[in-house]
């Protein structure tokens, strides 16, 4: 086989699986602006979410680009990173299988125990405008690769 006939392909499935190793994902229904939601997280929960335009998600659908904002907060003690994605942009969804959700909260790069996750869920449920908070398991997410930055 010559070097010219060798083709490399990116395996998006394997990439997504590696990205989601040791992560927890929450789906949140809260019909508020993304910056208002993150402001509440910051002021009520003592976090410091900030928009990160470098990891904004761009999807091309129907010959058009759609941009989904991502807010980031890295805990100062430890390696746990938090990412809040806006699930909807101009009528399109980052995860179309979860159209009822406004935000996705990904916790990665460190283990989050079940009791800690339940505490996050209860804290987020207490915020103004939040109607639902639920954990999304990997098996339920059909378009995981849309969350990879």
Backbone angles phi, psi at 70, to 5 degrees: -130, 125
Above 70 in pLDDT, residue 70?
A: yes
In a domain, 2, yes or no: no
Above 60 in pLDDT, residue 105?
A: yes
In a domain, 20, yes or no: yes
pTM of the model: 0.86
In a domain, 5, yes or no: no
- Which pairs count as long-range contacts for 118-122, CB under 8 Å and 24+ apart, including other chains? 120/26, 121/26
In a domain, 45, yes or no: yes
pLDDT band, very low/low/confident/very high, at 132 (cuts 50, 70, 90):
very high
Q: How far apart are CA 126 and CA 142, in angstroms?
A: 29
Q: What is the pLDDT of residues 46-67, one digit of tens each?
A: 999 999 999 999 999 889 999 9
For the record, the structure tokens of 11 come out as 């395996």
User: Where in the sequence is the domain holding 126, given as residue range(s)?
Assistant: 10-147
In a domain, 116, yes or no: yes
Instruction: Compute the half-sphere exposure of residue 74: CA atoms within 13 Å on the CB side of its CA.
Output: 5
DSSP 147: G
In a domain, 135, yes or no: yes
In a domain, 3, yes or no: no
Above 90 in pLDDT, residue 35?
A: yes
Q: How far apart are CA 38 and CA 65, in angstroms?
A: 24
Instruction: Compute the half-sphere exposure of residue 141: CA atoms within 13 Å on the CB side of its CA.
Output: 24
Q: How far apart are CA 71 and CA 53, in angstroms?
A: 8
Q: How far apart are CA 143 and CA 70, in angstroms?
A: 17
Report how many domains make up the chain: 1
In a domain, 14, yes or no: yes
């Amino acid at each position: 086989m010559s070097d010219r006939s060798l083709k490399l392909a990116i395996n998006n499935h394997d990439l997504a699986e590696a990205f989601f190793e040791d992560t927890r994902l929450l789906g949140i229904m809260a019909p508020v602006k993304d910056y208002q939601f993150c402001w509440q997280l910051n002021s009520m929960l003592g976090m410091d979410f900030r928009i990160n335009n470098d990891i904004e998600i761009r999807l091309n659908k129907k010959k058009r680009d759609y941009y989904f904002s991502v807010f980031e907060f890295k805990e100062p003690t430890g390696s746990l990173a938090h990412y809040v994605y806006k699930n909807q942009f101009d009528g399109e969804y980052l995860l179309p299988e979860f159209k009822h959700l406004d935000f996705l909260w990904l916790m990665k790069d460190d283990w989050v125990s079940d009791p800690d996750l339940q505490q996050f869920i209860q804290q987020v449920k207490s915020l103004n405008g939040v109607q639902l908070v639920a954990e999304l398991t990997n098996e339920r997410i059909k378009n995981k690769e849309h969350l990879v930055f």
